[in-house]
Chain A
Amino acid sequence: MARLAKRTSGGSRRPRSRTLVRWIVLVGVGAYLLVPLLSMLDFSTRGAGSSRTLEAWKAIGSFPELLSAIAVSLELAVLTVVGMLCLLVPTMVWVHLRLPGVRRTMEFVCLLPLTIPAIVLVVGLSPVFAWLTYFFGDTPLVLAFVFVVLVLPYAYRSIDAGLRAVDIGTLSEAALGLGASWWGVLFRIVIPSIRGALLSAAVLSIALVMGEYTIASLLNYNTLQVVLYQVGLRNAAVSVAVSLAALMFGFVLLFVVSSAGSRRRRAAREESTLAPLEAGLQL
C-alpha cells in the first residue's frame, strides 16, 4: 500500500474514519469516471452472442478516411506544438527578463481563448481562413494557426510555472556577462532549464489538437474527431474503439511525462514536469 501512502507529517497513522471516507470517495467518484471507460471497452469488443472479439479494433485499418484523418491530426499536432513553442517561448523569456510590465497583459491575453469559446471564434474565422487558403491552398494544416491560439492558456500556464521555478534572470545575466548572445542564452541556458515545462506544454497541446472538434468540423476539415464522428454514424463499435485507444494514448502520454520529471526530481533538485503539467492543466 506504499503507493497509497498517507500524507501526514512524521508518518503518524490516520484515524480509521478518515481512511474510510477517503475510500468511499475514491470508489464512488472513481466509479462514475471509470464505468464509461470500461463500457467503451465492453462495447468495442462485443461479438455474436456474448463473446468477445477484437473485430472492431481490427476493422480500424479498413477505414482509410480514419487512417488519413489520424495522420492529419498528428501532423496538425506537431505543427501546433512547433508554432506554440516558437511563438511563446522567446516572447515569454523576453517578457520575463526585459518587459516585466507586459507580463500582466500577456497573462490576460493568454486567458482570452477561454473567454472566447471556440464556437464563437469559428463564427468570425471565415475571412481569416479565406486568406489562409489563398496563401497555403486547401490543406487542413492551416488549422494549426488557430490551434496555436487555442492551446495558449494551457501552454502559457505550464511554461510560466517552469520559468518561475528557475531563476532565469540571474542565469541569463551570468551568461550574458560571460559573453553569450541572446540566442545563446535562450537555447543554451533557458530552454534546457525549463525542459520539463516545455514538455508539459507540448503534451497538453497535442492532447488538445487531437481532441479538437468544434473548429475543424464547422470549417469542414477532416481531422480525427470529425472523421471519428462520421464513422461513428455508420459503425459505432469502431468509433468507440478508436476513442478508447485515443484516450488511453493520451493517458499514457501524460502519465509518462509526469513520471519522467518526478523521478529526476527525487534525485536532484531539477525542475519537474509534474508541477508545470498540473499548472498547465488548470485553466
Chain B
Amino acid sequence: MTQGADLGLTDVGDWDLGVDQSPRRARPGGALKSLRPTSRHLGAVPFFGYIAIFLLWPTIIVIVGAFQNDSGQLTLANVTTVLGGSTYLQAFWASIRLSAETALAGGVLGALLAWAVAEGDADGVFRRQVVAMSGVLAQFGGVMLAFAFLATFGYAGVVTLALQRVAGVDPLASGGWIYSFTGLAVVYTFFQIPLMVLIFLPAVDGLQVQWREASDNLGGGSWAYWRYVAGPILLPSFVGGLLLLFVSAFSAYATAAALISQGSPIVPLQIRTFLQSEVVLGRANVGKALALGMVVVVAVVMTLYAWLQRRGAKWRA
C-alpha cells in the first residue's frame, strides 16, 4: 500500500485500509491501530530524537559535569564546594525566599484579579484584553520588564520623582533599593501576577453559577459560599498555581541580569559569573554543580505539582 510509504516513516507492508481481512486482527479501533508496534513507534522518533539532542544532551552534560573535575574525572568536589560555600548557600536561600515570597504575593493578587475578570463576560473584549496583556507580561521577557521597573522606580523613574516632588520623600536616598532583594521582589511580582491570572482563570471559570445560587437559596451568604464551596473547590488549583509561580521565579534570569550587573545575590546570577568571567582553575565545574542544584530544587517542586495534579481531590470525577 502506498499510504504509509508516503509518510516515509513507517513500513506499512501489511496495512490495508481498515478492511480487516484477517479474522485474527479484529480489534476495536480498527484501521488506525492495525500496524505492527515497532513501525508505529518510528513515527515518534524525529521528535524524541530532536529532544535528545537539544534538551537531554545539554542537561546530561550539566548533570554529569557537576560531578567531574577539570580533567574529567568523577569527583564530589564541586558539590561539596557548593554545599559548603556560604555565598552559594546564601544565594540558594535568597533564590528560594524570593521565589516563595513573590509566588505568594503574585499568587494572591493574581487569583483576585482572575476572579474579578472571570465575573465578567467570558467572551468579552475586556477579558480578552486582560488575557492578552497577561500573556505579554508573563511571558514576553525579563529585560523589558527591568526597563519598565527602572522607568517607574529608578533614579529618574516616574514614581520616584513623584514621591520626591509631591511627598518630599526620596526613596532612593539610602542607596538603590531597586537593586536589592526588595527591588527584585517588586519586579518579580510584576510578572507573577499575570502568570497567576493565566493559570488560575480556568479554575475560576469552572465555578458554576448554580452553586452560588444554590448556596444563596439555602441561606448561605458570601462568607459561607467561599468557606464551604468555592474555597475548597479552588484550593487545589490555587496551590498548584503557587507552585508553578515558584518555579517560574526560581528559574528566572533575564530580569535579574538586566537589573543587577554587579554581584550575584541569587543562583542564576551566580551561574552567570561562571559563564562570563575568568574561571578560577579547578573550579570550572562548580557552575555546573550550581545548575544541578537548581534542577534539584525545581524538580522537587514540579514533582509536588505533578502529584497534586494527579491526586486531584477525592471528590473529583
Contacts and interface: CB of A to CB of B under 8 A. Distances in A.
A240 B134 contact: no
A207 B135 contact: yes
A225 interface: yes
B55 A112 contact: yes
B122 to A, nearest CB: 6
A91 B46 contact: yes
B44 A106 contact: yes
A117 B267 CA distance: 12
Interface string B143-155: 1110111111000
Nearest to B209: A9
A274 B121 CA distance: 13
**What is the size category of the interface that chain A forms with chain B?**
35 or more
Contacts of A43: 151, 156-158
B47 A91 contact: yes
B199 to A, nearest CB: 5
Contact of A98 (B33, B110, B122, B258): B33
Contacts of A282: 198-199, 202
Given A25-B116, A87-B47, A123-B291, A212 B141 contact: yes
Contacts of B112: 25, 29
A204 B61 CA distance: 29
Contacts of A217: 254, 257
B133 A251 contact: yes
Interface in B41-77: 41, 43-44, 46-48, 50-51, 53-55, 57-62, 65
A14 B109 CA distance: 22
A67 interface: no
A52 interface: no
Contacts of B276: 218
Q: Which label, helix, strand, loop or mixed, suits the secondary structure of the B interface?
A: helix
Interface string B31-44: 11101000011011
Contacts, number: 333
Contact of A22 (B116, B128, B138, B151): B116
Q: Which label, helix, strand, loop or mixed, suits the secondary structure of the A interface?
A: helix
Contacts of B209: 7-9
B42 to A, nearest CB: 10
Nearest to A117: B251
Nearest to A147: B54
Contact of A36 (B152, B199, B202): B152
Nearest to B55: A149
A36 B119 contact: no
B143 A258 contact: no
Interface stretch (B1-9, B86-94, B173-181): B1-9
Nearest to A44: B151
A274 B120 contact: no
B158 A128 contact: no
A38 interface: yes
Given A39-B159, A243-B143, A281-B135, A173 B18 contact: yes
Nearest to A37: B148
